[in-house]
């Protein structure tokens, strides 16, 4: 039997596989149908609600410019029927850090929230004093 953490990481991988394959159907199937969902694409305000979130994914995955994304350093934190994964997203020429929140629905982990933002080395000016800088 896989642990809940392994189950969640597997669904997290499926999310990035759907992204990289630009597979809109697989992407839609990964999101919760029972709960309100939310999404923060890098650099943009939050989207709330199934219609708005899936609309954004259809637009992103339908674009010929959609990048391939590799997920690395994923760590799953399971709290009962809810879980979140923190991972890095490696794109051509860029690296992001993401938080993905999942809920277990009828035995399957489904996404309820995705938030991705850039890692400092790719940013012009970090906006908050970062720990490593404060400490060094």
List contacts with its own copies (CB under 8 A).
Answer: 35-36, 38, 40-48, 55-56, 59-60, 62-63, 65-67, 73, 75, 77, 79-82, 84, 86, 88, 91, 94, 96-97, 99, 101, 103, 112-113, 115-120, 122-132, 134-135
CB of 129 to its own copies, least distance (A): 5
CA distance 47 to 39: 5
Nearer to its own copies, 10 or 81 (CB): 81
Strand partners, 102: 83, 111
In whole angstroms, the minimum distance from the beta carbon of 31 to its own copies comes to 13
Closest contact distance (angstroms) between CB of 47 and its own copies is 7
Question: Which of 11/112 has CB closer to its own copies?
Answer: 112
Question: Smallest gap, in angstroms, from Cβ of residue 134 to its own copies?
Answer: 4
**Three-state secondary structure string covering 54-106:** HHHHHHHHCCCCCCCCEEEEEEEEEECCEEEEEEEEEECCEEEEEEEEEEEEC
Residues in Cβ contact with 87 at an 8 Å cutoff, skipping those fewer than 6 apart: 12, 71, 72, 73, 74, 75, 97, 98, 100
Q: How far is the CB of 84 from its own copies (least distance, A)?
A: 6
Show Cβ contacts of residue 115 under 8 Å, excluding neighbours closer than 6 positions: 39, 40, 98, 99, 100
Q: From the CB of residue 21, how many other CB atoms can be counted at a distance below 10 Å?
A: 13
Nearer to its own copies, 4 or 67 (CB): 67
By beta-carbon proximity to its own copies, the closer residue of 9 and 101 is 101
């Amino acid at each position: 039997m896989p642990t809940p953490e392994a189950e969640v990481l597997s669904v997290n991988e499926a999310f990035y596989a759907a992204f990289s394959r630009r597979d809109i159907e697989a992407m839609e199937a990964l999101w919760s149908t029972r709960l309100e969902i939310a999404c923060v694409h890098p650099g943009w305000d939050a989207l709330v609600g199934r219609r708005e979130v899936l609309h954004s994914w259809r637009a992103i995955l339908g674009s010929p410019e959609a990048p391939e994304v590799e997920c690395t350093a994923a760590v799953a934190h399971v709290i009962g029927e809810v879980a979140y994964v923190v991972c890095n997203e490696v794109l051509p020429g860029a690296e992001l850090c993401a938080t993905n929140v999942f809920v277990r629905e009828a035995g399957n982990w489904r996404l309820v929230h995705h938030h991705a933002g850039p890692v400092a080395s790719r940013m012009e000016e970090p906006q908050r004093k970062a720990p490593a800088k404060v400490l060094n």
